[in-house]
């Protein structure tokens, strides 16, 4: 068996700054005897960019996932982009326990551990294996149509039931632990993890839930009802949303904004905690409060704290 270390690189290859950063990471890994791996499509896009800046030689030596390595051969995934790119990477290595190290090239980048100016340090940490790994809850999602499971998938952030037509609401009934809770017309409903509480659920008015709290969130979208407040329920609960037969429009299921399934009237979406978490690489044991303040640029000027003089 080869002793070669392999690191998968997943990048937002539609952006030149991400391609430049990827070239930097590729070169740094190769100089340390580590084999960079990419998907075939992304390696091809990087090669085209590298030719334009006379750096094709290093990219031609990059391995292809599925040819030169498989997901279970990968030590860690370095992700260059925003949270959407991290969700893409999580999808690629879903069948393995490979941790993801995000380097934020986007805006907020809640899931990322490093920023653009920290690439050199991030690569050095990977080379020396100087990082810890945390686990984040994911969701197991099923769509049942006419009594049969028509679709199965998963989500790290959220599973969202949405109306498929802009002009028509959908009528849904919400169920918790196999008991009906309430029904209403709405634009949709977000079923979220704590990780997703700072994503779509946050935009919809849901609470921010610390990642250390194990829970599931239910956040209605523009619901026409008196009782339509966000809910926080047990992580062991089974959540379900049914698109009622009387619904004027069809629905759609979206998971992390990447995987989708049509929901005709009568369709049922079931969501529960998955047995397979996503693993994220971390450099420091920082408080989530600090990450929240930093990422959202929250005002804390004037705070003195218990230890301040």
Catalytic residue numbers read 83
How far is Cα 141 from Cα 257, in angstroms, rounded to an integer? 14
Mapped to the 3 state alphabet, what secondary structure does 202-251 carry?
Answer: HHCCCCCCCCCCCCEEEEEECCECCCCCCEEECCCCCEEEEECCCCCCCE
Q: Which residue has the tokens 């039931």?
A: 161
CA dihedral 152, 154, 160, 162 (to 10 degrees): -30
Ramachandran category for residue 141: left, alpha or beta (phi over 0 → left; psi -120 to 50 → alpha): beta
Closest C-alpha to 195, from 125, 288, 99: 288
Cβ 37 vs Cβ 10: under 8 Å: no
Q: Report the phi/psi class of residue 178: left, alpha or beta, with left for phi > 0 and alpha for psi in -120 to 50.
A: left
Spatial distance between the Cα atoms of 257 and 254, rounded to a whole number of angstroms: 5
At CA 69, angle to CA 66 and CA 73, rounded to 5?
A: 125
Helices (H), ranges, 6-156: 16-31, 40-52, 56-60, 83-92, 119-127
* Cα separation, 154 vs 95, whole angstroms: 12
264 Cβ contact list (under 8 Å, min separation 6): 145, 243, 250, 251
Tokens, residue 221: 């979208």
Bridge partner list, 158: 192
């Amino acid at each position: 068996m080869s002793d070669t270390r392999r690191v998968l690189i997943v990048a937002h290859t539609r952006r030149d700054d991400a391609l430049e950063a990827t070239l930097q990471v590729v070169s740094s890994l190769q100089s340390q005897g580590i084999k960079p791996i990419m998907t075939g499509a992304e390696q091809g896009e990087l090669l085209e960019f590298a030719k334009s800046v006379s750096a094709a030689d290093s990219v031609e030596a990059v391995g292809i996932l599925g040819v030169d390595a498989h997901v279970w051969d990968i030590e860690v995934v370095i992700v260059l982009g925003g949270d959407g790119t991290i969700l893409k990477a999580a999808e690629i290595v879903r069948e393995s326990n490979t941790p993801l190290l995000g380097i934020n090239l986007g805006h907020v980048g809640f899931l990322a551990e490093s920023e653009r100016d920290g690439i050199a340090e991030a690569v050095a940490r990977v080379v020396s294996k100087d990082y810890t790994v945390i686990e984040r809850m994911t969701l197991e999602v099923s769509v049942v149509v006419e009594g049969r499971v028509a679709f199965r998938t998963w989500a790290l952030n959220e599973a969202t039931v949405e109306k498929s037509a802009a002009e028509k609401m959908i009528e849904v009934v919400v169920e918790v632990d196999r008991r009906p809770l309430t029904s209403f017309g709405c634009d949709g409903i977000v079923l979220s993890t704590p990780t997703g509480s700072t994503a779509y659920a946050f935009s919809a008015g849901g609470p921010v839930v610390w990642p250390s709290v194990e829970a599931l969130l239910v956040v209605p979208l523009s619901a026409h009802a008196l009782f339509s407040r966000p809910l926080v329920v047990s992580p062991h609960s089974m959540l379900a949303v049914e698109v009622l037969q009387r619904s004027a429009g069809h629905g759609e299921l979206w998971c992390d904004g990447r995987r989708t399934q049509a929901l005709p009237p009568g369709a049922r979406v079931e969501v529960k905690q998955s047995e397979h978490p996503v693993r994220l690489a971390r450099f420091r044991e920082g408080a989530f409060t600090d990450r929240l303040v930093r990422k959202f640029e929250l005002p804390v000027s004037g705070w003195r704290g218990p230890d301040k003089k």
